[in-house]
């Protein structure tokens, strides 16, 4: 495991972190640091790049995965409501990881990346990637973006059966 420290975390979104980690993108998991894993849903020996996704309801401005009948991601939209959303956990095979590394480097050279997320790069390259949506239970991972999210997690864990 390699942890990447972004000393500009308070200036830029996670795009800059992925720029720092770009050389590690081939055959690797990417896990956002603001996640709490309630269960281990990571898989061994994945062949295809994979977004792990949970079906959530009542969300605001989340990245929703749209797929074909084979669970291949065909679009990613930012929506309110309910659906299968990004959970901050993905796997990138060697081919797709190398393609994303190049795309990240090209985007970095342009500058003005303070308002984008690394998932914007994936979205821009989506037609060149084969990403599978792997569904996980809604309570397998919790994203903690606020004190309210942390309080919700605490309550959920408090009521979890042993």
Rounded alpha-carbon distances, angstroms, from residue 124 to 104, 127, 151: 11, 8, 35
Cα distance between residue 98 and residue 106, in whole Å: 13
> What are 13-63's pLDDT values in tens digits?
889 999 999 999 999 999 888 888 888 999 899 999 999 999 999 888 999
Rounded alpha-carbon distances, angstroms, from residue 6 to 51, 58, 71, 110, 149: 23, 31, 33, 19, 23
> What are 86-114's pLDDT values in tens digits?
999 999 999 999 999 999 999 999 988 88
| Predicted local distance difference test score (pLDDT) of residue 161 | 62
Which burial class, exposed, middle or buried, applies to 131 when counting CB atoms under 10 A from its CB (0-12, 13-18, 19+)? buried
């Amino acid at each position: 495991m390699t942890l990447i420290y972004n000393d500009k975390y308070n200036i830029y979104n996670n795009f800059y972190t992925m720029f720092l980690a770009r050389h590690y993108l081939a055959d690797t998991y990417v896990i956002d640091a603001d996640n709490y894993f309630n269960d281990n849903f990571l898989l061994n020996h994945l062949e295809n790049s994979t977004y792990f996704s949970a079906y959530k309801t009542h969300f605001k401005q989340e990245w929703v995965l749209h797929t074909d009948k084979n669970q291949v991601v065909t679009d990613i939209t930012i929506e309110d409501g309910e659906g299968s959303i990004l959970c901050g956990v993905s796997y990138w095979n060697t081919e797709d990881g190398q393609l994303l590394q190049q795309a990240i480097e090209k985007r970095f050279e342009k500058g003005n990346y303070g308002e984008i997320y690394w998932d914007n790069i994936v979205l821009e390259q989506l037609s060149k990637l084969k990403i599978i949506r792997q569904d996980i239970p809604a309570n397998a991972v919790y994203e903690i973006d606020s004190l309210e999210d942390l309080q919700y997690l605490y309550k959920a864990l408090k009521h979890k059966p042993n």
